Structure formats: C-alpha cells, structure tokens
Amino acid sequence: MAESKDKVHLFVLQHGLWGNKNHLNYIMKQLQQTYKDKIHTLNVAVNEAKYTYDGVDICGKRLADKIKAEVKELEAKGKTVDNISLLGYSLGGLISRYAIGILGEEGFFDKHKPVNFTTFATPHLGIYNPKPNPFVRLVNWASAYILARSGEQMRMVDNFRDGKPLLEVMASPDYEFYKHLARFERRLIYANGVNDRSVPFWTAAFEETHYFAKIKSLDVEYDPGFNSVVTSFDLRDPSIKYVPPKKPFTKWTILKYPLFALIPVLLPVWIVVALSVVSTQGLLSRLRVAKLISKEKTKMIEASKVLTNNEDSNGSRATSPTITAESVDKDSDSNRDRRQSISKFMDDNVLVPALEGVNFPGTQEEHRVSRSSQDSIAIDIAPDSVTFNVRPGTKIAKEYKPLKLLPSQQAAARNLNTLSWHKVILVLDSFNAHGAIIIREKRFDSPEAQAEFSSVDNKT
C-alpha cells in the first residue's frame, strides 16, 4: 500500500526592485503564525538586489524554476503540494505574474491548485508617469535606462512580443500570463492611496484615474476594524474647512527640523551616490543579461542542428527546447526557417533591448488604529465586503478626468479589469508608504501598518 503524504499549501513570496527576501519577513512570520503547519512558505532569494535589474521575464523564469525545485524538495520529504499561492511586493508582483505564465504552460497548475494571488504596491501599469512637468519627464526618461532591462519593461518601451511591450502582453487575454492568472481562485491587490511616489495608486490598482492625487480634498471613510483601509471616498464639501489632525509628540517632532535644515546639503550627495550605484548595477545587469542570452541563443542553435539531424535520419520531428519562457515555433515550414525565426526573435526582442523608481515621501494626516485581536484567517473571502473594490463617489467620479496614459497602459488597465479582483485601498500615515505597506523594515512598523496586516490575514 502506497504511503500517504502530508498535504501542504505552498505560499511563495517575491520581493521587489533592489530588494531581498528579508523585506518580506514580517508578512512571512504573520502567515506562519496564523497557518502554522498548514502551509509551507517560500520566501524567494533567487532575484535579490542587483539581479532585479535583469528583467521581469528573466526574474520570472528564475522564480518559476525555484518554485518547481521547492516542490520537488518537499516531495522528497514526503509532502505533497496540493495548493499554491503567490504574493508579490512591488516589482515582485510583475515577476510573479510572469512566473505564473511559465508554470501554467508547463502544466504545473494541473497538479497544484492555484488559490491566492496577491500583490502589494505593484506597478501593474508600469512606471511611466503622465504628469506634464520637466522633473517627471526626466524621471520617465532616466528610468528606462538606469534600471536596465527591468526599467525598459516597466517603462513599456520594450518590444517583447508581437510588437507589444511585456506589461501589455502579460495583461492581454490572448497570452498565457492572463489565461493562467485567471485560474487562481482569488486575486487580491493592495494599493496605497497616498505617500507612495514609487508606485502611485493608479498603477497599483490599474485605474486610469488618480482619485487620491489630492487627499485633503477628499472625504474618506475607513474600516472601523482596520483604520488604514478605505471603505468609501468622495470630494469633500468645499464649505467644510479642512482641519489637519493633531499628531502626537514623538522624537520625530524634534528631529525633523534639523533634518530638514540639512536637506540642501545631504540631498545632492545622496542623489550622486544613488545614481552612481544604480547606474553601475544597471550596466552590470546589461552585460550579465547579454551573456546569458548569448549562451541561450547558442544552445538554441545547437538544438536546431540536432533537430535537423534527427529529422534527416528518422524522418520525424523532435521536440524543441525553450529559451527562458519563450516557445519555439513548431509550425515552421523548414528547419532553416525555424533557425532564422529563432535568431531574429532573440536579436530583436531580447538581445538588442538587453544591450541598450525613486520614492519621494509625501505627507498624510494621522489615522489612529487599534490592532485587531482576531487570530484566525477567513479562507473564503466575502464578495460583498465593504473593503473590496471601493468605487469613487458620484462627485469625484464626475469631476476627475482619466490620466493621459500611454496606449499600452490603457490596454493593460482595461484587460486586467476584465478579471475579478479584490482591490483594497490603503491610506497609511507613513513617511514612505511604499515601505510601510509590507513593513519592509523595523522603521516602517506602525499601528496602521499592523492593522493592515490584520486585514490581510482576514482576507488571504
């Protein structure tokens, strides 16, 4: 009689740009404390730091390979992965979506049920900012170059497939990434309404209108149990004067004034150092990716030669391998056409682009939060929850106009919104909401962020 294996739910966590797995330690611990031995967490380290520059596709391939290796390792220990969930932070959300396409095409989800897909502050519509001012235009231009291949893809200036940039392809129902993302039982996103200039609300929530551009003009209501979670918002009556809440006296109250005084001295130094590091890492990434792709291209050419020899000797067609996540065209009229097609695809869409994101803190009024004491996780998400898919009020919907996004961004937003999502909008009283949304480090810890994670536990 065959030995029965313990079934586990695999939770995969993928960090973001410049990140490392320690950035997701807080949420990993929360999941482990809540689920205990019901889950196995995989906090991925294969794309750490400089390797996040290599491109969403290359990082996604690494992630997919790591997931498959982890499943094999668990099976060797007598465990069976029956369910899988993926959680991505910032760029990690895009990497996870790419990995889903790879895994789905390989039949992975036929054996391991896809359950939860969750992203925190992920730029689903890329990082192109449509604000018409010189500084933003400079950032738009620079981000496509200094962030190497990942920057090109997030800026949507790449030509990934069929003349479309990667992020548009990943959002299209015509391709594998969307099709296999649709197989997940639940898709949940967390988007910062304010204080996140790295990934603003509209790209994290794939909305074409930035409703939270002027938070002081809004009348916002919050979940009474999780006071950083928005339940409704609309334009505030202009006759009602905005009165900022009183903030508690802390050490920051004293320190902020001398720090602000030092900004004219420290900021230029920080900019020079940051740009030097980022530019150097970006250049090294381009060289690394070029070498990687050249190696894979050589493998493909050799594989084509073997394929030709097999067909000449056996009169039958062998199966062609894959390069990264891209499939070889199996319907070419001849092996010569196939080799030319492969070479052209690699040169035009991968090799050439490979050879060719800054957070600015905002301000936000304080929202006092009481930590939830609930210890259990509600596995089934209530579709009528007031915290999901909060739509703008009638006044703001009428007055606010859509952003002047790129056509590719518009297409991505509309396609992604054809899937069912549980969108949660957060307003965190944090100097840097992009870090606070996952309590990336101890300095980002706060009652509001902790309450948010209580909300995550009850919705995951």
Give the model's confidence band at 384: pLDDT under 50 very low, under 70 low, under 90 confident, else very high: very low
In sequence order, the 6+-apart residues with CB closer than 8 A to the CB of 24 are 13, 14, 15, 43, 87, 89, 438
Quickly tell me which residue has 């500084």 as its tokens: 135
Given a cut of 80, whether residue 340 has pLDDT beyond it is no
Given a cut of 80, whether residue 39 has pLDDT beyond it is yes
Q: Provide the 3-class DSSP secondary structure of residue 231.
A: strand
CATH class of the 6-252+359-459 domain in this structure:
alpha beta
The pLDDT value given to residue 342: 42
Give the model's confidence band at 411: pLDDT under 50 very low, under 70 low, under 90 confident, else very high: very high
Given a cut of 50, whether residue 425 has pLDDT beyond it is yes
For residue 425, the cross-strand partners are: 191
Give the model's confidence band at 144: pLDDT under 50 very low, under 70 low, under 90 confident, else very high: confident
Give buried/exposed letters for 352-371 (b at 16+ CB in 10 A, else e).
Answer: ebbeebeeeeeebbebebee
Q: Provide the 3-class DSSP secondary structure of residue 358.
A: coil
Per the model's pLDDT, the better-predicted residue between 289 and 118 turns out to be 118
Q: What is the mean pLDDT of residues 295-301?
A: 70
Q: Which of 198-202, 240-244, 348-352 has the lowest mean pLDDT?
A: 348-352
Please report, as a single letter, which amino acid is at residue 83: N
* CA pair distance 234, 219, nearest whole angstrom: 5
Given a cut of 90, whether residue 148 has pLDDT beyond it is no
Q: How many helices (H) and strands (E) does the chain have?
A: 16, 8
CA geometry: angle 55, 135, 123, nearest 5 deg: 35
Quickly tell me which residue has 């095409």 as its tokens: 105
**So where are the chain's domains?**
6-252+359-459, 277-355
Provide the CA 389 distance to its chain's centre, in angstroms: 19
Per the model's pLDDT, the better-predicted residue between 451 and 186 turns out to be 186
Given a cut of 90, whether residue 388 has pLDDT beyond it is no
* CA pair distance 277, 262, nearest whole angstrom: 22
DSSP secondary structure letter of residue 3: P
Of 61, 56, 325, the closest CA to residue 168 belongs to: 56
For residue 235, the cross-strand partners are: 218
Per the model's pLDDT, the better-predicted residue between 320 and 413 turns out to be 413
Quickly tell me which residue has 């199966």 as its tokens: 319
Given a cut of 50, whether residue 349 has pLDDT beyond it is no
Given a cut of 80, whether residue 159 has pLDDT beyond it is yes
* CA pair distance 156, 171, nearest whole angstrom: 13
The pLDDT value given to residue 326: 40
The pLDDT value given to residue 372: 35
* CA pair distance 453, 455, nearest whole angstrom: 5
The pLDDT value given to residue 338: 46
| Average pLDDT value over all residues in the chain | 78
Given a cut of 90, whether residue 102 has pLDDT beyond it is yes
DSSP secondary structure letter of residue 41: E
Please report, as a single letter, which amino acid is at residue 173: P
Specify the pTM. 0.77
DSSP characters over 262-289: HHHHHHHHHHHHHHHHHHHHHHHHHHHH
* CA pair distance 405, 402, nearest whole angstrom: 8
The pLDDT value given to residue 247: 60
For CA atoms 97, 103, 109, 112, the dihedral sign is: negative
Q: Which of 160-174, 246-260, 392-406 has the lowest mean pLDDT?
A: 246-260
Per the model's pLDDT, the better-predicted residue between 114 and 371 turns out to be 114
Q: What is the mean pLDDT of residues 120-137?
A: 91
DSSP secondary structure letter of residue 51: G
- The per-residue pLDDT for range 46-60, each reduced to its tens digit, is 998 889 989 999 999
DSSP secondary structure letter of residue 229: B
- CA-based R_g, the chain, Å: 23
- The per-residue pLDDT for range 175-222, each reduced to its tens digit, is 999 999 999 999 999 999 999 989 999 999 999 999 999 888 999 999
Residues 198 and 357 sit within 8 Å (Cβ to Cβ):
yes
Q: Provide the 3-class DSSP secondary structure of residue 449.
A: helix
Given a cut of 60, whether residue 412 has pLDDT beyond it is yes
The pLDDT value given to residue 136: 86
Give the model's confidence band at 359: pLDDT under 50 very low, under 70 low, under 90 confident, else very high: very low
**Burial class, 63, CB count within 10 angstroms (exposed 0-12 / middle 13-18 / buried 19+):** buried
Strands in 6-14's sheet, in edge-to-edge order, are: 39-43, 6-14, 79-89, 113-120, 186-192, 422-426
Q: What is the mean pLDDT of residues 303-324?
A: 52
Query: What percent of the chain is modeled with pLDDT above 70?
Result: 71
Of 142, 254, 127, the closest CA to residue 200 belongs to: 127
Give the model's confidence band at 38: pLDDT under 50 very low, under 70 low, under 90 confident, else very high: confident
The pLDDT value given to residue 407: 96
Q: Which of 21-30, 231-240, 330-339, 376-385 has the lowest mean pLDDT?
A: 376-385
The pLDDT value given to residue 80: 93
Please report, as a single letter, which amino acid is at residue 114: P
For residue 232, the cross-strand partners are: 221
Q: What is the mean pLDDT of residues 110-116?
A: 96
The pLDDT value given to residue 320: 34
For CA atoms 24, 26, 28, 30, the dihedral sign is: negative
Given a cut of 80, whether residue 322 has pLDDT beyond it is no
